């Protein structure tokens, strides 16, 4: 098979950190307040601007509080778990690697006794109708490593006794989210907006504040994750007073990304960009004999962690180690040609490809990449001995 004629202009298709926005340049960060205290008025102004702009662009409910947390999405989510759980039973749902990590937190670290776990294999959702909303409920809006998202928030009742804690890191800014069905929402800068690592965002509903101000968990909470002191919310976190020191370079970069979103037309434009990327991949999969989505259900298919696998008979017959070796050969070929970096599926997921489809990716780049994947597949297949 001949090599395709056109290469993607940008070969960065990693699922995190994801590619920077189009035309990003380090020089855009010139006005970063470097070498200044993050508690100085100038820096606090910038921190507050990130929070306010994020809230506005996302159209988060007015009554929700939003703060910047250490430790990226993991830090924000685990802070919610450690501060809020222990008050009642817990239901936890998991259908990808990270959801499964939250199960480990709840079972092995927090040792919650009254617990229901709903797990599903890669490519599928667990049965959402089984969830007990008298309990606190932990779930992931979009399983980044499996390409499966919840279809909407209709399965979550408005009147619920427990809190819903949602890891939305690969969903925020890419797909509609029924915010009011989630009492906690977490995400990171390094995901959909292509920001820098290590900073997380935590949005909380008034019911979360109520819990923090009426209940103290029985386990210790490190300072980096503490949201309340003596049953009083630490309000500064949700304004401009981060728990510890953030990088003002990353703050400037987050602002740059938010300004770009405003410039291109806001949240819906980001949704459109991701949907178009998914459409290009879907059309290619429809006409390609050897590949299929890992998630067979179109209604829950992710437009960010776009995950697909080889369905050719010969590939299905060989063992998983050999399959992984072949995936590596294919994806190495693509990175050697500077056509695509980091599109081998998540190491703990079944052997698969994963192309990031968040809004900082140009859909046309994905369109140019697809024939290259065909090319690399055929090249590797021809080289094998059967």
Q: In the complex, which residues of this chain contact ligand PLP (CB under 6 A)?
A: 16, 72-74, 98, 140, 144, 167, 169-170, 188, 190
**Pairwise CA distance, residues 28 & 256, whole Å:** 7
The smaller minimum CB distance to ligand PLP, of residues 169 and 274, is found at: 169
Q: How many CB atoms lie within 10 A of CB 198?
A: 15
CA quadruple 320, 326, 331, 335: dihedral sign: positive
Least gap, CB of 188 to ligand PLP (angstroms): 4
User: Which token pair is 385?
Assistant: 């001995």
The smaller minimum CB distance to ligand PLP, of residues 280 and 356, is found at: 356
Least gap, CB of 120 to ligand PLP (angstroms): 15
Least gap, CB of 17 to ligand PLP (angstroms): 9
The smaller minimum CB distance to ligand PLP, of residues 144 and 205, is found at: 144
The smaller minimum CB distance to ligand PLP, of residues 170 and 368, is found at: 170
Scanning the chain, the segments in alpha helix (DSSP H) are 41-58, 72-84, 97-104, 206-212, 248-264, 267-286, 313-317, 320-336, 363-382
The smaller minimum CB distance to ligand PLP, of residues 33 and 274, is found at: 274
As a dihedral over the C-alpha atoms of residue 206, residue 208, residue 210, residue 213, rounded to 10 degrees, the angle is -130
**Pairwise CA distance, residues 267 & 175, whole Å:** 9
Least gap, CB of 72 to ligand PLP (angstroms): 3
Least gap, CB of 79 to ligand PLP (angstroms): 11
- If you ran DSSP here, which 8-state letter would residue 158 be given? S
Q: Which among 236, 184, 187 has a CA at the least distance from the CA of 210?
A: 184
Q: How many CB atoms lie within 10 A of CB 278?
A: 22
Least gap, CB of 214 to ligand PLP (angstroms): 28
Count of H helices and E strands in the chain? 9, 14
Least gap, CB of 215 to ligand PLP (angstroms): 25
Least gap, CB of 106 to ligand PLP (angstroms): 15
The smaller minimum CB distance to ligand PLP, of residues 33 and 277, is found at: 277
Rg of the chain over Cα atoms, rounded to whole angstroms, equals 21
With b for 16 or more beta-carbon neighbours within 10 A and e for fewer, the 139-151 pattern comes to bbbbbbbbbbbbe
CA quadruple 304, 353, 280, 146: dihedral sign: negative
The smaller minimum CB distance to ligand PLP, of residues 74 and 368, is found at: 74
The smaller minimum CB distance to ligand PLP, of residues 16 and 126, is found at: 16
């Amino acid at each position: 098979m001949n090599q395709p004629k056109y290469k993607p202009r940008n070969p960065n298709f990693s699922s995190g950190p994801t590619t920077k926005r189009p035309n990003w340049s380090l020089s855009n960060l010139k006005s970063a307040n470097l070498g200044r205290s993050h508690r100085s008025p100038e820096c606090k102004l910038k921190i507050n601007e990130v929070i306010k702009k994020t809230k506005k662009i996302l159209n988060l409910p007015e009554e929700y509080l939003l703060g910047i947390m250490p430790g990226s999405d993991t830090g924000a989510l685990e802070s919610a778990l450690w501060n809020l759980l222990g008050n009642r039973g817990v239901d936890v749902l998991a259908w990808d690697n990270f959801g499964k990590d939250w199960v480990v937190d709840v079972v092995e670290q927090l040792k919650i006794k009254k617990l229901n776990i709903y797990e599903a294999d890669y490519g599928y959702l667990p049965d959402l109708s089984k969830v007990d909303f008298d309990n606190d409920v932990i779930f992931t809006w979009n399983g980044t490593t499996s390409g499966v998202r919840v279809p909407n928030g209709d399965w979550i009742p408005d009147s619920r006794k427990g809190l819903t804690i949602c890891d939305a890191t690969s969903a925020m800014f890419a797909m509609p989210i029924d915010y009011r069905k989630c009492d906690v929402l977490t995400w990171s800068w390094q995901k959909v907006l292509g920001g820098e690592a290590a900073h997380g965002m935590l949005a909380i509903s008034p019911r979360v504040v109520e819990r923090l101000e009426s209940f103290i968990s029985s386990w210790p909470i490190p300072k980096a994750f503490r949201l309340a002191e003596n049953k009083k919310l630490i309000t500064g976190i949700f304004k401009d007073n981060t728990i510890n020191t953030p990088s003002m370079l990353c703050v400037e970069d987050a602002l740059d990304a938010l300004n770009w979103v405003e410039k291109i037309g806001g949240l819906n434009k980001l949704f459109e960009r991701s949907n178009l990327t998914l459409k290009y991949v879907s059309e290619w999969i429809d006409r390609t004999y050897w590949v299929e989505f890992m998630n067979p259900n179109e209604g829950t298919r992710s437009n960010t962690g776009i995950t697909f696998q080889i369905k050719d008979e010969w590939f299905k017959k060989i063992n998983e180690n050999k399959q992984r070796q072949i995936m590596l050969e294919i994806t190495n070929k693509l990175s050697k040609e500077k056509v695509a970096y980091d599109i081998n599926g998540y190491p703990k997921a079944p052997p698969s490809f994963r192309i990031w489809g968040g809004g900082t990716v140009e859909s046309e780049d994905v369109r140019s990449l697809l024939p290259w994947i065909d090319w690399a597949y055929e090249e590797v297949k021809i080289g094998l001995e059967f």
